[in-house]
Chain A
Amino acid sequence: MMQDKAETQSPISDEPLRLEDLVDREALVELCDSFFTLFGIPVRVLSKDGTLLADAAREHDLCGYINTFASGRAACGATVGAVKMSDPHEDDGTLVHPCFSGLEYRVVAIDYDARRIGRFILGPYLPAEVTDVPSSLLELDPNVNEPSAKSLMLKVPRAKQDTVQRVARHLKAALDLILFSGHKTLLTSQMHLLSVRESFRELTEKQARLQEAYDRLRELDRLKSNFLATVSHELRTPLTSIIGYGEMLAEGIAGPLNDEQKEFVGTIREKGEQLLQLIQSLLDMSKLESGTMSVRKERVRIEDVIGEVIKTLTPTARKKGVTLRLEADANLPELRADPERLRQVFINLGDNATKFTPSGGSVTYRVTTLARGSSADEGGFALMSPVRAQIEVRVMDTGIGIPENEREKVFDAFYQVDSSSTREYGGTGLGLSIVKRLVEAHDGTIVVEENTPRGAVFVVSLPVPHGA
């Protein structure tokens, strides 16, 4: 059992209803008019507090005659006032109120949902049994003329009690139907409104909870990146010393080493370099995630960058028996990019490609200009295509390839297509994730396609600035 404020406002609470809220005032007037037209008996509808809601009546000639006398006007006013104020008792909800003129009123209760909400008044009409002008009218004023009064009285619609009762019952039934429909409509519209409001409240609450969770996650993510950056930095410092001292040992600065010692020191250095590279990747990753990686853009010729990359990778490739090639269009436009970061991108891609390509295979960098976005049309095509030229670099290998359902995921941090391949091919699973972020930092895109007959193609698209 709850009795809070919300409940009393609920449409399904049991607050008393008002007649004026349930019916349309104009429709009610129309209904009364049609009753009056049909039966000739005036109809008035009053709310519970006595407000007149509808009035279908035309003054009888007799009433007009009575109102020409001052005492007649007073008596008429008193009668009408008394009729309007009378409240029918409960048993049959009907009250018959006689008028001094011999006419009669009938007051009928309007109940809805077992509660009194108003009443209607039928009359004045002439009861069937009245044939003569009553003394109460004649005694009103010495000037009242009996024959005239009688002729006027006989013009008033005459009605038997049970006829009036039938009319009353009929009107009551019609009103009840209207009230029920009105109530139903009222409830429906209120429920519509409340349901929408309740659903909205529910959604708002859920949304707030989600937002809160999201904010917390973002904060945690930021903390994680900060932690990663700090730790990587702290790891790098001593490692640099380890590698440095290893180098000095290898160079014999601390005295000559025998072959076995040289080999051991060589291994220490090699593994140290690997570790340094890993830490550098982590640092890059965290910088990219936290948005603190600085990209210094300058005019860059992409073919120069890739030429350098190939030079760097050639020793490793040769050792593995993989051929590196550059196929570039003539007259490539210049890019605005950070050459160091671009180098990182293409070294990474080339290194990967080489790693997964068996001996005798090849890795090809094909650089072309596209007048518009190729595979990745991001909308606004009609607006962008004439102005937004792109340079596309396709890094194609003849290696093991990447299954179609894995092509999206290879860019996730720490992801490797087949975790068992980590052991075979090495790597941290960070490289491609960094590549993607670096490409995106240059407003470019990267996707993976299939190479035929075998292998994978990494397609990097970089926008050419206006006027280049």
Chain B
Amino acid sequence: MQLNFAGREITIKLVYYGPALSGKTTNLKALHELTADDSHGRLMTLETRDDRTLFFDMLPLVFRAGDSPKRPGDRSYTPIDPTMGMSLRLKVFTVPGQVLHGATRRLVLQGADGVAFVADSQLTETENNAASFLDLRANLKELNVAVRDLPLVIQFNKRDLPAIRSDDEIKALARQGREPVFRASALTGEGVVETFFGLLHLTWSKLEAEHQLSRIIGIQPHEFVPVAARKMGIKRDVPVMLQSCLGGNLDFKAKDA
């Protein structure tokens, strides 16, 4: 997180991690599609000729939190008006999945406030998922971050394909693990928004606990994620969306109460 009081800005960095071809970029593309045009910038992809991510993809999401509604034509309205709340900048990155880009993955991971791990549901990819998670852990260690301290959600992507790990299996695994688990078909957009808001929620819980960001922004703690969803043009109810999460600890209700 970067806090810029002078510019009234808070930047939160979210990273989509996972094995090669698990659908990280597809998640970002879907997120870009599903959010309102005025809440996101262009999706920047730094890719090689064969459509594989070379360095990263980046989707910037920007909205104002804690402000009063916009008043068109109000000349006193300037970007640095302190009464207008803070500008929330969510920067969503993907890492390159291919094994050889280890150094790049570490660079992108640096400073991440939360990580969504995009796993490939196909049975044949089980080992690659595990290897990529070990890679994540090694890179975090290199960056002096404990996996336990990092907001982390897991997405089982490609639920629309045949020969995948079964729902029952994933449910059972999710119940035993610590991380919230979401199912998705990023290609059709299913589960993408849920995963994103699950991650945002978890990340926000942590940042709020550590920095009392709600006070800085001027917003009620439990309002943040719903406000973010609204600003991003997501019509669905956030708590309902988060119910699609399997197992793990999202900590949403606990913070609410």
**A195, B107: Cβ atoms under 8 Å?**
yes
Within 8 A of B (CB), among A410-433: none
Q: B89 at interface (Cβ–Cβ under 8 A)?
A: yes
A114 to B144 alpha-carbon distance, docked (Å): 32
B73 at the interface (CB under 8 A from A): yes
For the complex formed, measure the closest distance between the CB of B202 and the CB atoms of chain A, giving whole angstroms.
13
In the docked arrangement, what's the CA distance between A116 and B62, Å? Answer: 13
Contact B11 A14 (CB under 8 A): yes
A239 to B87, CA, bound (A): 90
Q: Which of A1, A91, A114, A195 contacts B62 (CB 8 A)?
A: A114
On chain B, the number of residues with a Cβ less than 8 Å from chain A's Cβ atoms is: 43
Which of these, B7, B58, B143, contacts A16 with CB under 8 Å?
B7
* A437 to B194 CA separation, bound complex (whole angstroms): 70
Known A-B contacts A3-B2, A113-B41, A187-B55; the reply to A90 vs B107 at CB < 8 A is: no
**Per-position binary interface string of chain A over residues 163-193, scored 1 when its CB falls under 8 Å from any chain B CB and 0 otherwise:** 0000000000000000010011001100110
* B70 at interface, CB cutoff 8 A: yes
Considering the chains assembled together, what is the distance between the CA atoms of A91 and B55 in angstroms?
35
A183 CA / B87 CA spacing, docked (Å): 21
Across the interface, which residues of A come within 8 angstroms of B78, CB to CB? Answer: 87, 89-90
- Asked whether, in the complex, the Cβ of A194 is within 8 Å of the Cβ of B41, the reply is no
- Counting chain A CB atoms within 10 Å of each CB, which of B58, B103, B207 scores highest? B103
Identity of the chain A residue whose Cβ is nearest the Cβ of B84 in the assembled complex: A90
* Cα–Cα distance between A377 and B101 once the two chains are bound (Å): 42
Contact B89 A12 (CB under 8 A): no
Complex: A91 Cα to B74 Cα, angstroms: 8
**What residues of chain B lie closer than 8 Å to A199, measured between beta carbons?**
102-103
Judge whether B46 is part of the interface by a CB distance below 8 angstroms: yes
Q: Bound complex: CA of A205 vs CA of B33, how far in Å?
A: 43
How long is the Cα–Cα vector from A13 to B56 in the complex, in angstroms?
13
CB distance from B63 to the nearest CB of A (A): 9
Name B106's contact: one of A91, A184, A187, A198 (CB within 8 Å). A198
A453 vs B89: C-alpha distance in the bound complex, in angstroms?
Answer: 83
B positions within 8 Å CB-CB of A? 1-2, 7, 9, 11, 13, 41-42, 44, 46, 54-56, 58, 60, 62, 70, 72-75, 77-79, 87, 89, 91, 93, 101-104, 106-108, 110-111, 113, 143-145, 207, 210
Q: Which chain A residues have a beta carbon within 8 Å of chain B's beta carbons?
A: 1-3, 6-7, 10, 12-14, 16, 87, 89-91, 113-116, 180, 183-184, 187-188, 191-192, 194-195, 198-199, 202
- Give me 8 A-to-B residue pairs in the complex whose CB atoms sit less than 8 angstroms apart, sorted by A's number: A3-B1, A7-B111, A12-B91, A13-B2, A14-B91, A115-B79, A187-B55, A199-B103
